[in-house]
Chains A and B, each alone.
Chain A
Amino acid sequence: NSKVIQTPRYLVKGQGQKAKMRCIPEKGHPVVFWYQQNKNNEFKFLINFQNQEVLQQIDMTEKRFSAECPSNSPCSLEIQSSEAGDSALYLCASSTTGDTEVFFGKGTRLTVV
């Protein structure tokens, strides 16, 4: 069973507002992933970290999101100015390396109104 904890479970924001979500990875997991799952169940990779360092991120994340994974604090993903198209389930996952079991949290469901 996954021990990745995501908060909040639900988030409602107006367009243009900031939207911040948090993730506590499993203990001992240095690799953290964020994915966006849309209403069609399609996954979009957003960013990954190893320890506190960003490994990869897509353009959208670089331009519109702020993400970090500080030591001894939850990881966070923040949309700087929410848009209607950002409404989705945001999933955080962690693993020991990218090629071992990757466990997901329950997600934060963001609705932008």
Chain B
Amino acid sequence: GEKVEQHESTLSVREGDSAVINCTYTDTASSYFPWYKQEAGKGLHFVIDIRSNVDRKQSQRLIVLLDKKAKRFSLHITATQPEDSAIYFCAASKGNRIFFGDGTQLVVKP
């Protein structure tokens, strides 16, 4: 089956800097890669996604890159703000199943 690995368990940046979270996956059949944000004690909030037919997608301060050859994808948060602090989960979707990474705790220091 699919295995998603999220490389950074914690990430600390200064407000205004960029944050990058990297993930890898194993199954070439995975075709959809969403990212979720979770604040303490709350549910998952969808932030951005990318499909395998493109290699880059941007939504305001969020950029997702996908390298299908390396089976790697990443989330770039530019101009970080304290409210970006949360746990971010990458995921890969294949055949009505979503496989999650273990999460990255992002801390944005003022």
Bound complex: CA of A91 vs CA of B45, how far in Å? 11
Interface residues of B in 19-45 (CB under 8 A from A): 31-32, 34, 36, 38, 41-45
Given A99-B32, A101-B34, A107-B43, do A41 and B97 touch, yes or no (CB 8 Å)?
Answer: no
Interface size class of B (residues with CB under 8 A): 20 to 34
B103 close to A102 (CB less than 8 A): no
Contact of A55 among B96, B102, B103 (CB under 8 A): B96
Judged by DSSP, the binding face of A is strand
Q: Distance (Å) between the CB of B18 and the closest chain A CB?
A: 24
Answer whether residue A50 sits at the interface, using C-beta atoms and an 8 A cutoff: yes
Contact residues in A for B36 (Cβ distance below 8 Å): 104
Answer whether residue A2 sits at the interface, using C-beta atoms and an 8 A cutoff: yes
Contact residues in A for B96 (Cβ distance below 8 Å): 31, 33, 48, 50, 55-56, 97-98
Q: Which residue of A lies closest to B41 (CB)?
A: A109
B93 close to A56 (CB less than 8 A): no
